[in-house]
Amino acid sequence: MFGELLKVFKEKFGEGGDIRGYFAPGRVNLIGEHTDYNGGHVFPCALTMGNYAVARKRDDDIIRWFNLTYPDNGVIEKNIREFAPEDNGLWYDYQEGVVWAFMQNGFHVPHGYDMVMKSDMPAGSGLSASASIEELAAVIIKDLFDIDMTMVDCARMGQYSENEYNGMNCGIMDQFASAMGKKDNAIFLDTSNLQYEYVPLNFTDEKIIITNSKVKHKLAGSAYNDRRRESEEALSDLKKVCDIKTLGDLDNETFRKYEDEISDPVCRKRAKHAVSENQRTIKAVECLRNSDLIAFGHLMNESHVSLRDDYEVSCPELDVLAEEAWKLPYVLGSRMTGGGFGGCTVSIVKSENTSDFCDVIAREYKKRTGLDCEFYIADPGDGAGRRQIND
């Protein structure tokens, strides 16, 4: 990958200087969905798929960026002091947002830079290609200009930019996973205080398989912001009777005791998911630590049902993928992953049955939806950072 990027970089922007390589991964969330803006826990891992770049700093305020994944956009050339929030859903909006976020948050960005990038992950599939682009920008700026900040700060800048520049009110899970990932581990993150632990995914006989439904329903962005608002409304009703800061502060029993205080039945369902999903996530990590993958898988299945029925962020295509997976004896668990309304499911499958899994799911998915799906074996990888260029 870097060989190709370097060649194009030299053609477009010339040889010489200190050209550096970077990578930022996408992520898959194993459990803990729609909990990250509700003060709950999440359990994602970084993937080995993501966005790659080579970059070289400049001594003026200009950026020149080229993305080999979207060559038709040509070279984007702008002045970093003129960036202002806007979102056309294009890759460079995410990059611009991060440069802008650094400056808004007091990190001095002294100059612009030239950059060529390329992705090896599917976009718009719920595997956080956008967070990967954001974290790529964050590590490039941090490293090129030697900015004194942590990788957690990089995650924060990614979330800040997506919220304030791109108008998507996301939590911090995706950026955190991309910035902080660790090979062969998932991250158990408490989003109420950003405390985290790495948990080894030392499966001996199982693989994590991602199935891409290849659909993305239009309402995803607006429905996401609606869910956030509904959760907040539920929280504000509950705060009248319980001393809590977030829905993540409640266990299932306490929630049941007070749920009738939530006046709107839709908001009550949303809160039920946020509370139960957080409890499931805590339990699932405990199961994994005890090597009880069967119990872990059951919790994944319950997570899907809760996302489908209470949070209502699944869609027929994701339900078909999960239901068909549940029928197979060698699947330990399967659920939608990410924001929902399309994108992917994640399944834990016995290693010896992975090719059968792909055959059966592809066939049944086609039969029931008329669509083709795509599979990736998830290989939990390291987080964003500088990478060696071996040209």
Instruction: Please tell me the distance from the alpha carbon of residue 208 to that of residue 89, in angstroms, as a whole number.
Output: 29
Asked if 217 and 314 count as a contact pair (C-beta separation under 8 A), the reply is no
Shortest distance (Å) from residue 29 CB to ligand GLA = 6
Nearest residue (CB) to ligand GLA, 297 versus 338: 338
Single out the residue of 229, 258, 231 nearest to residue 246, CA to CA: 231
Asked if 281 and 41 count as a contact pair (C-beta separation under 8 A), the reply is yes
Shortest distance (Å) from residue 8 CB to ligand GLA = 30
Nearest residue (CB) to ligand GLA, 36 versus 114: 36
Instruction: Please tell me the distance from the alpha carbon of residue 246 to that of residue 250, in angstroms, as a whole number.
Output: 8
Shortest distance (Å) from residue 248 CB to ligand GLA = 13
Shortest distance (Å) from residue 380 CB to ligand GLA = 17
The rounded Cα 319 to chain-centroid distance in angstroms is 20
Residue with tokens 């197979």: 328
Shortest distance (Å) from residue 54 CB to ligand GLA = 27
Instruction: Please tell me the distance from the alpha carbon of residue 378 to that of residue 208, in angstroms, as a whole number.
Output: 5
Asked if 43 and 78 count as a contact pair (C-beta separation under 8 A), the reply is no
> Exposed, middle or buried by CB within 10 Å (0-12, 13-18, 19+), for 89?
exposed
Q: Please report the DSSP string for 121-160 in residue order.
A: S-TTSSS-HHHHHHHHHHHHHHHHTT----HHHHHHHHHH
Shortest distance (Å) from residue 321 CB to ligand GLA = 17
Active-site position among 36, 93, 114, 174: 174
Measure the CA angle with vertex 225, ends 273 and 365; round to 5°.
Answer: 65
Instruction: Please tell me the distance from the alpha carbon of residue 26 to that of residue 300, in angstroms, as a whole number.
Output: 20
Nearest residue (CB) to ligand GLA, 173 versus 348: 173
Nearest residue (CB) to ligand GLA, 131 versus 328: 131
Nearest residue (CB) to ligand GLA, 339 versus 385: 339
276-291 burial: b if 16+ Cβ within 10 Å, else e: bbbbbbbbbbebbeee
User: Which amino acid type is present at position 78?
Assistant: K
Shortest distance (Å) from residue 339 CB to ligand GLA = 3
Asked if 114 and 63 count as a contact pair (C-beta separation under 8 A), the reply is yes
Nearest residue (CB) to ligand GLA, 116 versus 321: 321
DSSP helix/strand/coil, 297: helix
Give the footprint of ligand GLA on this chain (CB under 6 A). 33-34, 36-37, 170-171, 173-174, 338-339
Annotation says 251 is catalytic? no
Extended strands (E) in the chain = 20-29, 41-42, 44-57, 62-67, 76-79, 113-119, 185-190, 195-200, 206-216, 331-337, 342-350, 374-378, 385-387
Asked if 191 and 172 count as a contact pair (C-beta separation under 8 A), the reply is yes
Shortest distance (Å) from residue 174 CB to ligand GLA = 5
Nearest residue (CB) to ligand GLA, 41 versus 268: 41
Asked if 19 and 6 count as a contact pair (C-beta separation under 8 A), the reply is yes
Nearest residue (CB) to ligand GLA, 55 versus 189: 189
Active site residues: 174
